[in-house]
Amino acid sequence: MNQPGPWHAFFALFRRDLMLAIRRRNELANPLLFFVLVIALFAMGIRAEEHGKLLPIMAPGVIWVAALLSTLLSLEGMFRSDFEDGSLEQMLLSPYPTLLLVLAKVSAHWLVTGLPLILLAPLSGVLMSLPMDAMGTLIHTLLLGTPVLSLVGAIGVSLTVGLRRGGALLSLLILPLYIPVLLFAAKAVADSTLGLSVIFPLKMLGAMLLLWLALGPVATVAALRISVD
């Protein structure tokens, strides 16, 4: 009997992670609620007479900081349960390319965390009084930036997966690598609100996505082997 191909293993693991995420609805909803609450609290913290002036200026940074922190909240579960039940070790020992299996887990993580943030982008823009002309740019930055957050986050999670309380260390490892995404994404949205060209920051986000798509899974596999060994 022929062994299933590597792409069959990719989609099987991808589907498994999606099913597990659906079963853990509380863990799935917490980062999204955090995202909305942070933005809503910022909006309510500004005096009503200053909404039209301050909120559009603050909106790019606030929305992207909220997206970054909500993604950070969801990262630890990417490999933790697999490490605890031993399936992570089996994944590393399987005959299928570990790189492809890691990419399946990162893709599933983005689908359940990054994609909902993109769907919530119009709501976050309305709460922060973001001009309608900048909504499209905000969605574009999230489309390019949130996969980078998952790819980079996977490296940090793989380094700390063997630690019982690795949350603080994970934040210290990941947040500096998130800063370029935050800066260019916020700049693109801010430039859009001012009617300026957003081509350069969007190109930089695209370049970062390609870079981390090439290097992130490789670094994650190496870090997982170190953590498991």
Q: Where are the domains of the chain?
A: 6-228
In terms of C-beta density within 10 A (0-12 exposed, 13-18 middle, 19 or more buried), how is residue 3 classed?
exposed
> What is the rounded average pLDDT of the residues 174-195?
93
Cβ 6 vs Cβ 97: under 8 Å? yes
Per-residue pLDDT tens over the stretch 68-112: 999 998 888 888 888 888 888 888 888 888 999 999 999 999 999
Selected residue with higher pLDDT from 166 and 178: 178
Q: Can you tell me the distance from the alpha carbon of 229 to that of 225, in angstroms, rounded to the nearest whole number?
A: 6
Selected residue with higher pLDDT from 76 and 134: 134
pTM, 2 dp: 0.91
C-alpha closest to that of 125 among 60, 76, 185: 60
Q: Can you tell me the distance from the alpha carbon of 198 to that of 3, in angstroms, rounded to the nearest whole number?
A: 48
Per-residue pLDDT tens over the stretch 7-16: 888 898 899 9
